[in-house]
Amino acid sequence: MMEHASQNLKEYVTAMIGGQLFGLAILRVQDVFVPERLTRVPLAPPEVAGVLNLRGRIVTLIDMRRSLGLEADKVEGQPMAIGVERAGESYGLLIDSVGEVLKLDDATREPNPVNLDPRLARVSLGIHRLEGQLLMVVDVDRVLASGGTAMAA
Amino acid sequence: MDDLLREFVTETNESLDVVDVELVRFEQDPNNAKILDNIFRLVHTIKGTCGFIGLPRLEALAHAAETLMGKFRDGLPATRDAVTLILATIDRIKTILDSLEKHQREPDGSDADLIAGLERMVEAITAPKGAPVVEAPPLAPARDSEEELERAFRETEAEPPLAKPAAPREPAAADEDGGKAASQSIRVTVDTLEHLMTMVSELVLTRNQLLEIVRRHEDSEFKTPLQRLSNVTAELQEGVMKTRMQPIGNAWQKLPRIVRDLSNELGKQIDLEMQGAETELDRQVLDLIKDPLTHMVRNSADHGLESPAERRAAGKPERGRIRLSAYHEGGHIIVQIADDGRGLNTERIKAKAIAQGLATEAEIDKLTEAQIHKFIFVPGFSTATKITSVSGRGVGMDVVHNNIDQIGGTIDVKSVAGAGLMFTIKIPLTLAIVAALIVEAGGERFAIPQLSVVELVRARAGSEHRIERIKDTTVLRLRDKLLPLARLSALLGGERSADIENGFIVVTQVGSQTFGIVVDAVFHTEEIVVKPLSSKLRHISMFSGNTILGDGAVIMIIDPNGVAQAFGGTVTSQMTAADKRKGGATGVEEEKTSLLVFRAGSSQLKAVPLALITRLEEIDARKIELSNGRHMIQYRGQLMPLVTPSETVRVKAEGAQPLLVFSDGSRSMALVVDEIVDIVEDRLDIQVGSDNPGVLGSAVVKGQATEIVDVGHFLPLAFADWFRRKEQAQQARPRAVLLVDDSPFFRNMLVPVLQAAGYEVTACASGQDALALLDDGAVFDVAVTDIEMPDMDGFAFAEALRAKHAALPVIALSSVVSAESVERGRQVGFHDFVAKFDRQGLIAALKEQTEIGEAA
């Protein structure tokens, strides 16, 4: 089992956002941190929660709930952020909580259901059926491109 | 041997980088024997050293390349192919050097391909020339050169340890005076530097935290080492900052060649002088000024310098000169581009400015030469009648102006007809580190670059600096100028704070536009390291970047340009549009009058010069009282009569009633209006007079026909004795003033003002009229005259007065007060100079002059 599995297995960092489980390719994840001293940015797109100083780098924090159009319920406990990079810029994806790292086989990944919320469908690379819940694979680049002017303009 | 090898690798790499650059230069400039010699020497040194250390592959390659270059030195053409081949050889040498560095020996492999190619190239470029005649001549130079090489080689070989270090040091020496790329340096990617910078910033933050902790523990043993750490950190920070600096000569590198090509193309002889090429500035700034500088040098060569024939005729040396210089001054770098050409053509700029509708003929006549020259910075302005291939169309000094504006710099032009032209550019040393004012608005902190901050004003309700409202916009009356204001929190999309009356006003200037940014608090200034915005935020025009403050927090940096644009949208769009059209031509601005536009009684727009209005008020209509058949209001402990500008204006019974308050001394009256529309700045040119009392006439204000209200008519309506009261109180005999002004508007405006101040005024429309009056025996205490008048201007009038009526003091009114005109005024005998619309100034000057008369 181990031998043939290594070919299609991908590692994902899992995250809970608004009650839904998401997976981000581990190769894209730089670190996971607790956002502190967040500076709000006036006039920024709604999904931008603010900017903060992470070890001397300025990180733009993206509120994943807003970005994905998920319920903005109050989160219990400390929200977390997953640090990613795109085109040399540092971003933090604000999530409710971070979960374990899962190895999932690409072969078992299923396409998006046709009736998936378009905001989710746009960033989803497909769905994995786990025991008891579904995991949506998120394309980090599409999350960061959406809504911003960099791609839209 | 190891050390020797390492040294060889380092030095050879450096030499090769130079060869790379020089070869490209040589390809462009094949006649330059000096460059070729330099390349030749470098390659030869490499070859010699290789032989000495025993590196056969390198030696063979270098030899083959050298042979080909020897042909160039013999005068054979340096074709593109040949240069490409040599470059490829150099790349191969570099690869071998890399391997040599790693493995301490030459890698296995053959260079037969390249060597064969180089040899073929030698034959190819030698053959065609000699082919028709005999085989021998083409071969001869080859052998000659080879012999020469061998000789040179032997010479160097004789003293190998000396030859080696000598080569790299030569370009280093050239550096000190030429400012060329240093050979004694290493190349570091910008990323590496940025990373270093980031780490240093983090170190600074950590240091600050430590200092904070130690401060709380008085007798800590950490104190001394921490102090050392602190100093070292500061030095490190400075050092890293320095790595970003580059000599300005890097931006000038291409210029010699450009000038050389231009002189060929234009048939002019041009010397290019460069001074201060070693002056360092931030590489980011350097990139931004590279193009403007190139453009200006092109301009100088193309338009500035005359043809040799013209120069001869003008008694100048045939060779034209363009001089570039750079030096540091404070936190700025000054770059000057000067030529000894014909200078700017003032007449042509005038004509063009008029043709483009930038100013009227009358306005232009009042401008000084320097002011006229500034028109070249106006967008779309180009005086070159001939469009040459050198200087394009449409893109001109305005673009240069714009580029320099963007980096917070300024540009000035000084031209002397026939003698030359000089541009002076002042730019900040770095954009990466700027002094910024840290302010608070809407609960967040922001940084405003100090460069654009003019001053700070504390506004408080009831104080001298009071924020006033005009409908939805707020203004501050600051030294007789109305400053449009906007709350930073509102600009940033926050809630409009109700408490607009209190706050700090950051008076900001962008180009010719001045405005006030109202903030909740001002903290301190800090040197901030500007970091670019994330692409998610880059579209927000209000911010130019963000930064990490000393306390570790991230804050946004306000972009004054963005704020200025926002002002265009929210406060006075027309004003901004007009400013844009004018560009840097501040001379015209002075000709404009600030007008308050309002409606009263009809939909027809009415206007009154803002300078006449003391205050704009909006009062609760219920506070208006009727007394003795007149509307009154208690205002600042006094009764203030309200006057309606026409019968159709109704005083409101409820709601807010806007008023224009006119005060003089302790008396005030208010004009009842329906609505205050805007404050605009425009030329006041009354085109149609009016028989209607209370209306001076109609003028076009911002494209709309507008009635200009005669304030003088209304003052006596409020107080019948408005003009009489003072004179009785202050002096027994009213002083007689002779007012000379060709503009009926100014006559009508000034007469009531002067009367209100207790003077008896006689107005004349021209100097001739006034002289006629004086000749008829009329007696005046003082004369007030406009300067700009047709036929007989103020200077001529003053001269005429001095001849006949020398005792009469003369005060000049002028919209343009320049040192030049003041000097001229002194010569013709003006006793004082007052700016038009400066009511207080005029009255003070009158008082002074009449009192002198009294004493005498």
Which H or E element spans position B825?
A: helix B819-828
Which H or E element spans position B704?
A: strand B704-709
Residue B506 in contact with residue B453, Cβ under 8 Å?
yes
- Residue (of B770, B787, B812) closest to B365 by Cα position: B787
CA distance A147 to chain B (A): 8
Q: Give the count of domains, chain A.
A: 1
Q: What is the CATH number of the domain that holds B275?
A: 3.30.565.10
The residue to which tokens 């007149």 are assigned: B630
Q: What is the CATH number of the domain that holds B570?
A: 2.40.50.180
In a domain, B48, yes or no: yes
In a domain, A101, yes or no: yes
The torsion angles phi and psi of B66, rounded to 5 degrees, stand at -65, -40
Are B169 and B88 found together in one domain? Answer: yes
Are B327 and B423 found together in one domain? Answer: yes
Q: What is the CATH number of the domain that holds B58?
A: 1.20.120.160
Q: For residue B556, which residues of chain A lie inside 8 Å, CB to CB?
A: 39, 41-42, 51
More confident residue, B669 or A84: A84
Are B667 and B710 found together in one domain? Answer: yes
Q: Which of B671, B689, B718 is the endpoint of a domain?
A: B718
Compute the radius of gyration of chain A from its Cα atoms: 16
3-state secondary structure B464-516: CCCEEEECCEEEEEECCEEEEEEEHHHHCCCCCCCCCCCEEEEEEEECCEEEE
Confidence at residue B253, expressed as pLDDT on a 0 to 100 scale? 76
Neighbouring-strand partners of residue B693? none
Confidence at residue B138, expressed as pLDDT on a 0 to 100 scale? 37
Are B554 and B520 found together in one domain? Answer: yes
Residue B567 in contact with residue B515, Cβ under 8 Å?
yes
Residue B471 in contact with residue B660, Cβ under 8 Å?
no
Are B637 and B766 found together in one domain? Answer: no
Average pLDDT for B620-627: 82
Confidence at residue A60, expressed as pLDDT on a 0 to 100 scale? 94
Nearest CA in chain A to B494: A42
Q: For residue A40, which residues of chain B lie inside 8 Å, CB to CB?
A: 444
**Is the CB of A144 inside 8 Å of chain B's CB atoms?**
yes
In a domain, B185, yes or no: no
Listing DSSP states for B139-163 in one string gives HHHHHHHHHHHHHHHHHHHHSHHHH
Token code pair at residue A127: 């769905």
In a domain, A1, yes or no: no
Using alpha carbons only, what angle is made at residue B842 by residues B840 and B847, rounded to the nearest 5 degrees?
95
In a domain, A55, yes or no: yes
Per-residue pLDDT tens listing for chain A (153 residues): 444 545 678 899 999 988 889 999 999 999 999 998 899 999 988 889 999 988 778 899 999 888 888 876 666 678 899 999 988 889 999 998 899 898 888 888 888 888 888 888 888 899 998 888 899 999 998 888 855 433 333
Q: For residue B543, which residues of chain A lie inside 8 Å, CB to CB?
A: 41
Question: Which of 104-123 (A) contact B at CB < 8 A?
Answer: none
Q: For residue B535, which residues of chain A lie inside 8 Å, CB to CB?
A: 87, 89, 148-150
Which H or E element spans position B308?
A: helix B308-313
Are B165 and B211 found together in one domain? Answer: no
Residue A40 in contact with residue B444, Cβ under 8 Å?
yes
In a domain, A2, yes or no: no
Report the side by side order of strands in the sheet with B410-416. Answer: B270-275, B320-329, B332-339, B420-428, B410-416
Q: Report CB contact under 8 Å: A89, B534.
A: yes
In a domain, B196, yes or no: yes
Q: Report CB contact under 8 Å: B494, A87.
A: no
Are B106 and B15 found together in one domain? Answer: yes
Q: Which of A56, A60, A144 sits opposite B537 (nearest CB)?
A: A60
Q: Report CB contact under 8 Å: A40, B531.
A: no
Are B714 and B729 found together in one domain? Answer: no
B412 DSSP assignment: E
Lowest pLDDT segment from B78-87, B564-573, B695-704, B756-765 = B564-573
CA distance A83 to chain B (A): 14
Lowest pLDDT segment from B110-119, B411-420, B436-445, B613-622 = B613-622
B378 DSSP assignment: S
Q: Which of B718, B744, B771 is the endpoint of a domain?
A: B718
- State in Å, rounded, how far the first CA of chain A is from the last one: 48
Neighbouring-strand partners of residue B657? B619
Residue B407 in contact with residue B285, Cβ under 8 Å?
yes
B120-134 confidence digits (pLDDT tens): 888 877 765 443 433
**Confidence band of B576 (pLDDT split at 50, 70, 90):** very low
More confident residue, B465 or B352: B352
Q: What is the dihedral of CA B272, B278, B279, B280, to 10 degrees?
A: 130
Q: Which residues, including other chains, have CB under 8 Å from residue B803's CB and lie 6 or more apart?
A: none
Q: Report CB contact under 8 Å: B556, A42.
A: yes
CA–CA gap between residue B217 and residue B205 (Å, rounded): 19
Question: B495: burial class by Cβ within 10 Å (0-12, 13-18, 19+)?
Answer: exposed
Confidence at residue B588, expressed as pLDDT on a 0 to 100 scale? 33
B204-247 confidence digits (pLDDT tens): 777 777 877 787 777 778 888 888 888 898 888 778 877 878 88
Q: How distant, in Å, are the alpha carbons of A83, B66, B480 from that of B87?
A: 44, 12, 68
- Could you count the other beta carbons within 10 Å of the beta carbon of residue A126? 15
Q: What is the CATH number of the domain that holds B206?
A: 1.10.287
More confident residue, B666 or B35: B35
Confidence at residue B628, expressed as pLDDT on a 0 to 100 scale? 75
Confidence at residue B844, expressed as pLDDT on a 0 to 100 scale? 79
Are B276 and B423 found together in one domain? Answer: yes
Confidence at residue A113, expressed as pLDDT on a 0 to 100 scale? 86
CA–CA gap between residue B612 and residue B711 (Å, rounded): 8
Percent of chain B surpassing pLDDT 90: 3
Q: For residue B202, which residues of chain A lie inside 8 Å, CB to CB?
A: 55-56
Q: How distant, in Å, are the alpha carbons of B99, B409, B851 from that of B847?
A: 91, 43, 6
B301-335 confidence digits (pLDDT tens): 888 888 888 888 888 888 889 999 998 876 678 89
Residue type, B538: R
Provide the angle, in degrees to the nearest 10, between the axes of the packed helices B56-73 and B136-158. 130
CA distance B190 to chain A (A): 13
In a domain, B183, yes or no: no
Q: Which of B198, B536, B548 sits opposite A48 (nearest CB)?
A: B536
CA–CA gap between residue B272 and residue A80 (Å, rounded): 61
The residue to which tokens 């200034």 are assigned: B525
Token code pair at residue B843: 């009255």
CA distance A94 to chain B (A): 15
More confident residue, B7 or B340: B340
Using alpha carbons only, what angle is made at residue B161 by residues B158 and B162, rounded to the nearest 5 degrees?
80
Residue type, B643: V
**Confidence band of B169 (pLDDT split at 50, 70, 90):** very low
Listing DSSP states for B797-823 in one string gives HHHHHHHH-TTS-EEEEES---HHHHH
Q: Which residues, including other chains, have CB under 8 Å from residue B65's CB and lie 6 or more apart?
A: B43, B86, B89, B90, B118
In a domain, B379, yes or no: yes
Decide the pairing of beta strands B433-441 and A134-138. unpaired
**Is the CB of A58 inside 8 Å of chain B's CB atoms?**
yes
Are B290 and B414 found together in one domain? Answer: yes
Confidence at residue A61, expressed as pLDDT on a 0 to 100 scale? 94
Are B172 and B208 found together in one domain? Answer: no
Chain B residues with CB-CB distance to A under 8 A? 198-199, 201-202, 205, 442, 444, 492-494, 531, 534-540, 542-543, 546, 548, 552-556
Whether ipTM > 0.90 holds is no
Average pLDDT for B142-165: 44
Q: For residue B531, which residues of chain A lie inside 8 Å, CB to CB?
A: 58
Average pLDDT for B844-855: 69
The residue to which tokens 């995991």 are assigned: A135
The residue to which tokens 């550019």 are assigned: B425
Are B172 and B59 found together in one domain? Answer: yes
Query: Going along A55-96, which residue ranges are E strands?
Result: 57-63, 80-86, 89-95
Decide the pairing of beta strands B420-428 and B332-339. antiparallel
Q: Give the count of domains, chain B.
A: 6
- Could you count the other beta carbons within 10 Å of the beta carbon of residue B644? 18
Buried b (16+ CB within 10 A) or exposed e, B385-413: eeeeebbeeeebbbbbbbbbbebbbebeb
User: Which structural domain, as residue segments, surrounds residue B484?
Assistant: 433-582
Q: Report CB contact under 8 Å: B535, A87.
A: yes
In a domain, B614, yes or no: yes
- pLDDT winner (highest mean) among A31-40, B258-267, B523-532, B682-691: A31-40
Nearest CA in chain B to A60: B534
More confident residue, A9 or B142: A9
Confidence at residue B98, expressed as pLDDT on a 0 to 100 scale? 82
Q: Which of B199, B444, B546 sits opposite A58 (nearest CB)?
A: B546
Q: What is the CATH number of the domain that holds A101?
A: 2.40.50.180
